[in-house]
Amino acid sequence: MILEMKGISKFFGPVKALDDVNFTVGDAEIHGLLGENGAGKSTLMNILGGALQQNEGQIFIDGQLIEDMSIHKSNALGIKFIHQELNLVNDLAVFENLFLGQEIVNRAGLLDRKTMIARSKEVLEKIKVDIDPVEMVDNLEPSRKQLVEIARSFLFESKLIIMDEPTTALTNKEIDILFEIMRSLKAHGISIIFISHKMPELFAICDKYTVLRDGKFIESGYFKDINEQKATNLLVGRSIVDSQLVKEDVRGKVVMQVENLSCKGHFKDISFDLREGEVLAITGLHGDGRGELSEALFGARHVDTGTVTLNGKRLPLGHIRQIMKAGVGMVQRNRKERSIIKDMSILNNLSIAYFIAKHNRFFINKREEAERFNRNQKVTNIRVGNMDDEITSLSGGNQQKVMVSRWLELNSDIYILDNPTQGIDVGAKFEIYKLISELAHRGKSLIIFSSEFPEIYKIADRCLVMYEGHINAELNRDQLTEVNVMYYATGANKEGINGNKIKQPA
């Protein structure tokens, strides 16, 4: 399919989300769409998918002008959209989600469950995803939900697939599988539009690129003709100097002590100290128990044994509100699943933690709330039209910044950040890293759960590497290399089946 979008503009009230954008995708091409948070990527794709109507401009498919694009029309043309926000119904089974809106009925007019389950099985197998079609979606991990969402686009014949940040919830292994599928789709003549903030991914899988900035078309070309630095400069519109943000030695007193924390099936005997002004990274691979540990520290998951003390006082584990009051804040991973309150405004989404932990009056002082908001907006640089709009009107990355700001308001002593830069563009990532080091400079202590080595390297004073639910290594600054992290994250120091250990990297 050859797609041409010409002179597309889109307004949301006073916000000009797209301004005269041209976008062309060729046959059997994987096309990377790049841009900062709020640049207009999802909006452009929503217009192509028929969920939004452009104010100006035209869409041509194989040379033919398509007027009044609707979701239905877009589907009928063979365009499939895998959305940035998961669009699955939790209360339905996997196969019901796959066929949602396009159910198969038998001659009696009843739903043909058997055929739908069989076809679901086929498609899941084809893309090498081991999920039972009758499983309830609610029971699936976010990464698996993402795979169901991807499977949906393979169920029906498509000619162009839009993938809006499909990899943010996936593990590296799942990303490899996805890329394999993408390559085979391309070999079958299908075109793919791929949106991601991760440069290595874009360079690995895409043929061409188009960069948007502030709703405007900036440049199109072949990835083979540019490098990561050039791509970054194009999308940010200036060159950013990437530097390390680590401070001198952290010699503050111990503020938090975790002792022998265990949670059956997830993690075991976790002990570590956290110092004042320290940035401690905790990393590992899928199945390392890291996510569950982060929840336990914040009181969102029950533990079987162990204690956590904060400034010598025991934390009431399992009680989020009291833990918040004691001075612990947390940015959870997978914001769309865990932390955003969809029908609430931007302002209320930001204020809710403050409200729960600090507020003791009956009335909300709207002016005070707005003042706090404005202060935060400056710090995290959230791009927003009106703070009373629904949170979902913000671009993905800006929503994430609201989630970070939620905890800044509380002025916590300890910040637990789980995958804090998910969906955040390169420029804004750097802003968040700076914010993290500033907080540390002010004597706050931070625990960053992350699987991105470049991020850990940039900000962490010390790093714990988890493997199968326990801490396999503690690395200080001079031991912090990617090879070292992988060595311990894969458990290579453990005795293998034949009793051999892999030699430790230098």
Which stretch, 9-17, 341-349, 373-381, 482-490, contacts ligand ATP (CB under 6 A)? 9-17
Residue 11 in the binding site for ligand ATP (CB under 6 A): no
Residues that bind Mg ion (CB under 5 A): 42, 84, 395-396
40 binds, among Mg ion, ligand ATP, none (CB under 5 to 8 A by kind): ligand ATP
How many chain residues bind ligand ATP (CB under 6 A)?
Answer: 20
Q: Which residues face 258 on adjacent strands? A: 272, 308
The full 3-state SS of 254-277, as one line of letters, equals: EEEEEEEEEECCCEEEEEEEEECC
Q: Which of Mg ion, ligand ATP, none lies near 15, with the C-beta cut-off 5 to 8 A by kind?
A: ligand ATP
How far is residue 153's CA from residue 163's CA, in Å, rounded to a whole number? 10
Contact region for ligand ATP (CB under 6 A) — 65-73, 151-159, 273-281, 387-395?
387-395
In single-letter form, the type of residue at position 465 comes to V
Strands 208-213 and 191-195, bridge-based pairing: unpaired
Under rule CB under 6 A, residue 397 binds ligand ATP: yes
CA dist 447 and 205 (Å) reads 33
Beta bridge partners of 208: 31, 222
User: What part of residues 46-85 is at the interface with ligand ATP (CB under 6 A)?
Assistant: 84
Residues 6+ apart with CB under 8 A from 117: 95, 133, 134
395 is a contact residue toward ligand ATP (CB under 6 A) = yes
Task: Kindly tell me which of 11 and 272 has the beta carbon lying closer to Mg ion.
Answer: 11
Exposure of 59 by Cβ count < 10 A (0-12 exposed, 13-18 middle, 19+ buried)?
buried
C-alpha–C-alpha distance, residues 185 and 160, integer Å:
10
Beta carbon of residue 37, minimum distance to Mg ion (angstroms, whole number): 8
Of 327 and 396, the one with the shorter C-beta distance to Mg ion is 396
Q: Is 470 helix (H, G, I), strand (E, B) or coil?
A: strand
Nearer to ligand ATP, 15 or 473 (CB): 15
CB of 280 to Mg ion, least distance (A): 31
Tally of helices (H runs) and strands (E runs) in the chain: 17, 20
What is the rounded CA–CA span in Å between residue 154 and residue 119? 11
Q: From ligand ATP, Mg ion, none, which one binds at residue 294 (CB under 5 to 8 Å depending on kind)?
A: none
Stretch that binds ligand ATP, among 235-243, 340-348, 351-359, 392-400 (CB under 6 A): 392-400
Strand 64-66 relative to strand 56-61, pairing: antiparallel
Burial class of residue 332, CB neighbours in 10 A (0-12, 13-18, 19+): buried
d(CA 453, CA 423): 16
- The contacts found for 385-390 with CB under 8 angstroms, 24 or more apart, are 385/12, 385/13, 385/14, 385/15, 386/13, 386/346, 387/345, 387/346, 387/347, 387/350, 388/345, 388/346, 388/347, 389/345, 389/346, 390/342, 390/343, 390/344, 390/345, 390/346
Residue 42 interacting with ligand ATP (CB under 6 A): yes
Element (H, E) at 53: none
Strand segments (E) across 3-76: 3-12, 15-25, 30-34, 56-61, 64-66
Q: In the set 277, 291, 299, 396, which binds ligand ATP (CB under 6 A)?
A: 396
Applying CB under 6 A, which of residues 143, 311, 393, 490 lies at the interface with ligand ATP? 393
Q: How far is the CB of 18 from ligand ATP (least distance, A)?
A: 8
**38 touches ligand ATP (CB under 6 A):** yes
Q: For residue 387, what are the CA distances in angstroms to 214, 231, 272, 324, 402?
A: 19, 32, 40, 25, 11
Pick one of 41, 213, 336, 462: the residue that binds ligand ATP (CB under 6 A).
41
Report the nearest approach of ligand ATP to the CB of residue 403 (Å): 13
Residue 35 near which of ligand ATP, Mg ion, none (CB within 5-8 Å, type-dependent): ligand ATP
Residue number with CB closer to ligand ATP (301 or 383): 383
**191 in contact with ligand ATP (CB under 6 A):** no
> Quick one: what does residue 88 bind among ligand ATP, Mg ion, none, with the CB cut-off 5 to 8 Å set by partner type?
none
Q: Which does 6 bind (CB under 5 to 8 A by kind): Mg ion, ligand ATP, none?
A: none
Listed residue (416, 466, 460) closest to 263, CA to CA: 466
**Binder among 3, 23, 25, 37 for ligand ATP (CB under 6 A):** 37
CB 339, min distance to Mg ion, A: 17
Within residues 84-103, the interface with ligand ATP by CB under 6 A covers: 84
Instruction: Among 113, 216, 325, 383, indicate the residue that binds ligand ATP (CB under 6 A).
Output: 383
- Nearest approach in angstroms of CB 374 to ligand ATP is 17
- Residue 322 in contact with ligand ATP, rule: CB under 6 A: no
Smallest distance from ligand ATP to CB 431, Å: 13
299 binds ligand ATP (CB under 6 A): no
Backbone angles phi, psi at 60, to 5 degrees: -120, 135
Q: Measured from the CB atom, is 6 or 16 closer to ligand ATP?
A: 16
Of 32, 40, 49, 329, the one binding ligand ATP (CB under 6 A) is 40
- Please identify which residue in 4, 6, 9, 12 interacts with ligand ATP, judged by CB under 6 A: 12
CB of 382 to ligand ATP, least distance (A): 10
Radius of gyration of the chain (CA): 24
Nearest to 8 by CA among 202, 233, 210: 210
Does residue 17 touch ligand ATP according to CB under 6 A? yes
Closest CA to 373 of 406, 327, 413: 406
Kindly list the residues in this chain that would bind ligand ATP in the complex (CB under 6 A).
12, 15, 17, 35, 37-43, 84, 383, 393-398, 425
